[in-house]
Amino acid sequence: MDNDTASSSERSDFVRDIVAADLREGRIDSVVTRFPPEPNGYLHIGHAKSICLNFGVANEFGGRCHLRFDDTNPVKEEQEYIDSIEADVRWLGFDWGEHLYFASDYFEQLYEWALHLIREGKAYVDDLAADEIREYRGTLTEPGRESPWRERSAEENLDLFERMRAGEFENGSRVLRAKIDMASGNINFRDPVVYRILHSTHPRTGDAWCIYPSYDFAHGQSDAIEGVTHSVCTLEFQDHRPLYEWFIANLPVPSQPHQYEFARLNLTHTVLSKRVLLRLVKEAYVRGWDDPRMPTLSGIRRRGFPAEGMRDFAGMIGVARADSVVEVEMLEHAVRSVLNRTALRRFAVLDPLKVVIDNYPEGSSEDMEVTNNPEDPSAGTRQVPFSRELWIERDDFMETPPKKFFRLSPGREVRLRSAYFITCNEVVKDEEGNIVELRCTYDPESRGGSSPDGRKVKATLHWVSAAHAVPAEVRLYDHLFASPFPGSGGRDMFDDLNPDSETILGNCWVEPSLARLPIGETIQFERLGYFCVDPDSTSDALVFNRTLTLKDAWAKLQAQGRQNTA
Q: For RNA, which is the closer residue by CB, 193 or 276? A: 193
515 by DSSP, 3-state: which? helix
Q: Does 21 bind RNA (CB under 7 A)?
A: no
Choices 6-14, 471-479, 507-515, 535-543 (CB under 7 A): range interacting with RNA:
6-14
Q: How far is the CB of 320 from RNA (least distance, A)?
A: 4
Q: How far is the CB of 45 from RNA (least distance, A)?
A: 13
The contact pattern for RNA, residues 240-279, with x = CB under 7 A and - = no contact, is x----------------------x----------------
Beta pairing partners, 365: 387
Q: For RNA, which is the closer residue by CB, 255 or 337? A: 337
A 10 A CB-CB count for 429 gives 11
The H or E element spanning position 74 is: none
Residues 153-172 that bind RNA (CB under 7 A): 171-172
Residues 307-336 that bind RNA (CB under 7 A): 316-327, 329-330, 332-333, 336
Annotated catalytic residue: which of 38, 60, 332, 366? 38
DSSP state at residue 404? T
Residues 197-236 that bind RNA (CB under 7 A): 197-198, 212, 214-215, 219, 235-236
Q: Does 44 bind RNA (CB under 7 A)?
A: no
A 10 A CB-CB count for 13 gives 14
Of 406, 470, 487, 512, the one binding RNA (CB under 7 A) is: 406
| CA dist., res. 222 & res. 67, Å (int) | 12
- Beta strands of 216-351 (E only): which ranges? 230-234, 258-262, 345-346, 348-349
Closest of 420, 417, 440, 444 to residue 428, by C-alpha: 440
Alpha-carbon Rg for the chain, nearest whole angstrom, is 31
Q: How many residues bind RNA (CB under 7 A)?
A: 90
The contact pattern for RNA, residues 100-139, with x = CB under 7 A and - = no contact, is ----------------------------xxx--xx--xxx
DSSP state at residue 539? T
Annotated catalytic residue: which of 11, 137, 145, 264? 264
Q: Does 522 bind RNA (CB under 7 A)?
A: no
Task: Tell me whether residue 38 is one of the annotated catalytic residues.
Answer: yes
| CA dist., res. 342 & res. 373, Å (int) | 8
Classify the C-alpha dihedral 549-555-557-562 as positive or negative.
negative
Choices 91-99, 223-231, 399-407, 508-516 (CB under 7 A): range interacting with RNA:
399-407
Of 3, 9, 109, 173, the one binding RNA (CB under 7 A) is: 173
Choices 288-296, 352-360, 442-450, 492-500 (CB under 7 A): range interacting with RNA:
442-450
**DSSP H stretches of helix in 392-444:** none
| CA dist., res. 234 & res. 160, Å (int) | 35
Query: What is the residue type of 533?
Result: V
Annotated catalytic residue: which of 274, 293, 407, 415? 274
Cα–Cα distances in angstroms (integers) from residue 470 to residues 56, 164, 419, 542, in the given order: 43, 66, 19, 9
Q: How far is the CB of 187 from RNA (least distance, A)?
A: 4
Q: Is the distance from CB of 12 to CB of 320 less than 8 angstroms? A: no
Q: How far is the CB of 541 from RNA (least distance, A)?
A: 26
Task: Tell me whether residue 437 is one of the annotated catalytic residues.
Answer: no
225 by DSSP, 3-state: which? helix
Of 31, 70, 102, 293, the one binding RNA (CB under 7 A) is: 70
Residues 333-392 that bind RNA (CB under 7 A): 333, 336-337, 340, 345, 373-375
Q: How far is the CB of 384 from RNA (least distance, A)?
A: 11
Per-residue DSSP letters for 328-340?
HHHHHHHHHHHHH
Q: For RNA, which is the closer residue by CB, 541 or 555? A: 555
| CA dist., res. 491 & res. 71, Å (int) | 34
Write the CB contacts of 364 (distance below 8 Å, at least 6 apart in sequence). Answer: 387, 388
| CA dist., res. 296 & res. 279, Å (int) | 13
Q: For RNA, which is the closer residue by CB, 286 or 348? A: 348
Closest of 91, 77, 94 to residue 35, by C-alpha: 94
Q: How far is the CB of 36 from RNA (least distance, A)?
A: 7
Q: For RNA, which is the closer residue by CB, 176 or 253? A: 176
Task: Tell me whether residue 274 is one of the annotated catalytic residues.
Answer: yes
478 by DSSP, 3-state: which? coil
Q: Does 294 bind RNA (CB under 7 A)?
A: no
Q: How far is the CB of 213 from RNA (least distance, A)?
A: 7
Q: Does 477 bind RNA (CB under 7 A)?
A: no
**Which residues are designated catalytic?**
38, 264, 274
